[in-house]
Amino acid sequence: MFIAQQMLITLRLVLMTIILLTGISFTTLAEEPIVRAQNSSDDVTDSKGLNSQAQNLTTSTIEVTIAKGAAALGNKAFSPDSANVKLGQNVTWTNGDSQFHTVTSGTGPDDPNVANEFDSKALSPGEKFSHGFSNESLAGTDVAYFCQIHPTMIGTITID
């Protein structure tokens, strides 16, 4: 167990060193941060491309927060409102508001494919919902989602 932990730490150090030594510019990645942490307690707090990229090597979950007062925030109800994931990654939504909300795939209540990809059902304040985007047919697509209780709340997950 100890050896495995040591190896993991060493691996991370080696990866960071390689990234620093090669001096690759990740500024293009920084234009659209893949991971944008909303909680100060989250360990992914750096929006610079370098750290986001390093984090991406070790995490498979993207965090999205339902913002305070989300019902009135429209396309800013989810933070980030547009998140990029790689095929196989999970997205975890946290209800950071004091009201109930859902996270439901589709462009709105009239979408014939509503809830086909995912549907959290009603999330109480503080409750989390996770969904994995592993279906290969999703690669390169945008998955729209909204809140069934407040359909003006809309967000997008872009699958690389």
- Give the binding range for Cu ion (CB under 5 A) out of 29-37, 81-89, 95-103, 127-135: 95-103
Q: Which residues of 80-107 are buried (b: 16+ CB within 10 A; e: fewer)?
A: bbebbbeeebebebbbbbebbbbbbbbe
CA distance 37 to 33: 10
> 85 is written with which tokens?
């994931």
Residue among 30 and 149 whose Cβ is closer to Cu ion = 149
Tell me: does residue 147 bind Cu ion (CB under 5 A): yes
Site for Cu ion (CB under 5 A): which residue of 33, 37, 101, 123? 101
* Cβ at position 27, least distance to Cu ion in Å: 36
- Give the binding range for Cu ion (CB under 5 A) out of 4-12, 33-41, 124-132, 151-159: 151-159
Site for Cu ion (CB under 5 A): which residue of 30, 114, 115, 149? 149
Which residues, 6 or more positions from 125, have their beta carbon under 8 angstroms from its beta carbon?
A: 95, 97, 98, 99, 100
